[in-house]
């Protein structure tokens, strides 16, 4: 079972990926296109061109995990506003889980909470 924790960074690749790729092919996409290390323990999400299939690549101490999910109806949503220069979107665990469940987080808004309040001096 793959579980996502708040310690791991989660990246969603912006460019569509050929879903015929398995662990080695997806790891090559991570190094060549995203300029990241696939052996870092970070989690990488990839969508196909139609956004109907998602693949998850993750490294643990003994090897790669690859998980795949195909939606029967609809498309996986994704946020496009928080993109870094590497061509990927950094996601929180909650955002990643919503995307994996097929919930469109494109227009998600977040309520202001204690951690985001300005500190008064």
**So where are the chain's domains?**
10-110
In angstroms, the CA 3 to CA 100 distance is 12
**pLDDT tens digit sequence for 20-48:** 999 999 999 999 999 999 999 899 999 99
pLDDT (tens digit per residue) in 54-101: 999 999 889 999 999 998 888 887 655 555 557 888 888 888 888 888
Q: What is the helix (H) or strand (E) element at residue 59, kind and residue range?
A: strand 53-60
């Amino acid at each position: 079972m793959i579980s996502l924790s708040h310690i791991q960074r989660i990246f969603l690749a912006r460019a569509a990926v050929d879903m015929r790729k398995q662990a080695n092919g997806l790891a090559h996409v991570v190094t060549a296109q995203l300029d990241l290390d696939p052996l870092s323990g970070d989690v990488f999400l990839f969508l196909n061109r139609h956004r109907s299939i998602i693949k998850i690549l993750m490294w643990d101490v003994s090897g790669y995990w690859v998980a795949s999910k195909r939606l029967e109806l609809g498309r996986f949503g994704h946020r496009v506003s928080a993109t870094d220069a590497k061509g990927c979107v950094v996601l929180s665990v909650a955002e990643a889980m919503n995307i994996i469940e097929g919930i469109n987080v494109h227009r998600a808004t977040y309520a202001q909470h204690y951690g985001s309040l300005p500190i008064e001096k």
